[in-house]
Amino acid sequence: MLFKQSSLDKIARKEVTLAFRRWKRPTAKAGGRLTTASGVVLIGDIAVVDISALTEKDASAAGFPTLAALREMLGADDGTPVYRIELKGIEPDERVVLRGEASLSDAEWHILTARFARWDKTAPGHFPSILQAIGAHPEVPAAVLAAKAGVEKLKFKQDVRKLKELGLTESLEVGYRLSPRGEAVLEKLREHRL
């Protein structure tokens, strides 16, 4: 489920509290969380609605100037259900805070190395090598980094997302870079030769 930046700003200000989508099946979960560039959108209830039952109030709560504009966005009825998604606001993305924390406690270091070991069972050193590649080649497209690592682009991107969840990498317009935390972890990996 994607949101434009202008919509995210309105969700943060609680000016937009609903979203409507045509989905064959929901791509968000009631009570779930959706990570975006502006933070984590909190999802409330999700329900199928009859498009003919939508109101001007629904359109306004979804950030549309009119009900006609909302219906236009949903498009012609092709049999795909329309879902009403409650938006409960935006919380800060914890990964952003983590990225700036360059000093790691011994406990944090042990947790990270244990996680790398668990992830690297089939290919030892894979995740540290991703950190090294990003550190040496920031702003290089994922396809190029994946080819150098000898893995498929999709797998590489999934693995980078795991590192991002730990606050170690940041996505850029093109490619990635290490966060201050990622640089600190890479330095510790070098010290420990992992």
Residues 6-28: tens digit of each pLDDT: 899 999 999 999 999 999 998 89
**Please, are residues 46 and 83 in contact by the beta-carbon 8 Å criterion?**
yes
Mean pLDDT across 159-180: 91
Is the confidence at residue 142, as pLDDT, over 90? Answer: yes
For the chain, give every domain's residue range: 5-92, 96-192
Is the confidence at residue 97, as pLDDT, over 80? Answer: no
Q: How far is CA 177 from CA 126, 164, 173, in A?
A: 17, 10, 11
Q: What angle do CA 82, 87, 88 make, to 5 degrees?
A: 155
Distance CA 62, CA 58 (A): 6
Quote the pTM value: 0.60
**How is residue 176 written in tokens?**
């990635």
How many CA atoms, within 13 angstroms, populate the side-chain half-sphere of residue 16?
A: 23
Hey, is 3 helix, strand or coil?
coil
Mean pLDDT across 133-141: 94
> Can you tell me which residue has the tokens 């510790």?
188
Q: Which CATH number fits domain 5-92: 3.30.830.10, 3.30.565.10, 3.10.400.10, 3.40.50.300?
A: 3.10.400.10
Q: What is the dihedral of CA 30, 34, 39, 43, to 10 degrees?
A: -10
pLDDT band at residue 30, thresholds of 50, 70 and 90?
Answer: very high
**Please, are residues 55 and 68 in contact by the beta-carbon 8 Å criterion?**
no
Lowest mean pLDDT among 36-45, 81-90, 122-131: 122-131
Q: Can 5-92 and 96-192 be said to share one CATH topology?
A: no
Q: 96-192 belongs to which CATH class?
A: mainly alpha
Distance CA 8, CA 73 (A): 17
* More confident call, 63 vs 150: 63
pLDDT band at residue 194, thresholds of 50, 70 and 90?
Answer: low
Mean pLDDT across 83-110: 87
Is the confidence at residue 37, as pLDDT, over 90? Answer: no
